[in-house]
Amino acid sequence: MSVGSTPRPPVATLITVAPTGAESDQAAVPALPVTLDELVATAIQCQAAGAAVIHVHIRDAQARPTLDRGRLTDTVRALRESTDLIVQLSTGGAVSDGFEPRLAVLDAAPDACSLTCGTVNFGDEVFLNPWPFVRELYARTQAAGVVPEFELFDLGQVATLHRLLAELGPPHGGHVHCDLVMGVPGGMPGDAATLVAAVAALPAGATWSATGIGRTSLPVMLTALAAGGHLRVGMEDTLSFARGRPVTGNAELVARAATLAGLAQRPAMSPEEARNMLGMAIRD
């Protein structure tokens, strides 16, 4: 039997950690990192466990989600001082955040940012991303030299990604990298058939990771590895490590992802390898 026509998957796996998010409350989830010190400590542990990118939401002094510019700038600086991780700020924020503060996230000069390509029901709420906002945010990433990660919650958003690229051209760095966010109540389901359909619709040459929310975390991770994709894990997306066993910290989610990637013969990528893949300059 010949395997000559089977395409080779990428050699290594990019692991992104999303440690905090905007939805969980530290009072209910004590292991959630909400202060800058907690976030930096988490980042150091997650890099050691195999992460190359950190997707960042921050909190205020009361541990509520915030897009405060000073805090975002301090966060980018602190993460750069303490780790080699690619710092990706969330422009999604919380569902209650307005468009202007979300656009202003770029003023904190991160390496990268998330860029969701359309509106999606989000549990009982709505995560608003109308076309004019998506277009404006993308144009600002190009002007600011920030590498966007296209967050795709459903297949319609893949069509919007194609429209963005057709109208405004390639992203800063020239490489398209996407994250399939699967299993959000209101978005695409976190299963193998949906992942395969979404990947088939992506622009040619794009790389992608996948994130399974809640109990879809493991099936999405295993499918993504099998399909040649990269991984995002973290307490933004998953609070249970296994049935009846809460996550004790982000590093154990990264460590599990790195173990599975290693078993798939696609070990975790270093931050420098990730920068190369994403078309980013190597940091001094």
CB 79 within 8 A of CB 85: yes
| Binding-site member from 151, 180, 190, 235 for ligand KMH (CB under 6 A) | 151
Q: Which does 127 bind (CB under 5 to 8 A by kind): ligand KMH, Zn ion, none?
A: ligand KMH
What span, in angstroms and rounded, lies between the C-alpha atoms of 114 and 257? Answer: 21
Q: Using the rule CB under 6 A, is 277 a contact of ligand KMH?
A: no
| Binding-site member from 41, 78, 94, 192 for ligand KMH (CB under 6 A) | 94
Q: Using the rule CB under 5 A, is 90 a contact of Zn ion?
A: yes
| Binding-site member from 19, 50, 92, 118 for ligand KMH (CB under 6 A) | 92
Give the number of other CB atoms < 10 A from CB of residue 270.
Answer: 15
What span, in angstroms and rounded, lies between the C-alpha atoms of 14 and 256? Answer: 14
Segment near Zn ion (CB under 5 A), from 84-92, 130-138, 173-181, 261-269? 84-92
Cα distances (angstroms) measured from residue 55 to each of 22, 148, 171, 268, 271: 12, 12, 18, 17, 13
Tokens of residue 22, six digits: 């905007």
Q: Strands 125-127 and 120-122, how do they pair?
A: antiparallel
Q: How many residues in the shown chain lie near ligand KMH by CB under 6 A?
A: 12
Question: How near is the Cβ of 149 to ligand KMH at its closest, in Å?
Answer: 8
Which of 231, 197, 196, 201 is CA-nearest to residue 217?
A: 231
Residue closer to ligand KMH, measured from CB, 136 or 196: 136
Q: In the window 99-138, what residues touch ligand KMH (CB under 6 A)?
A: 114, 116, 122, 127
Q: Using the rule CB under 6 A, is 22 a contact of ligand KMH?
A: yes
Q: Which residues bind ligand KMH (CB under 6 A)?
A: 21-22, 90-92, 94-95, 114, 116, 122, 127, 151
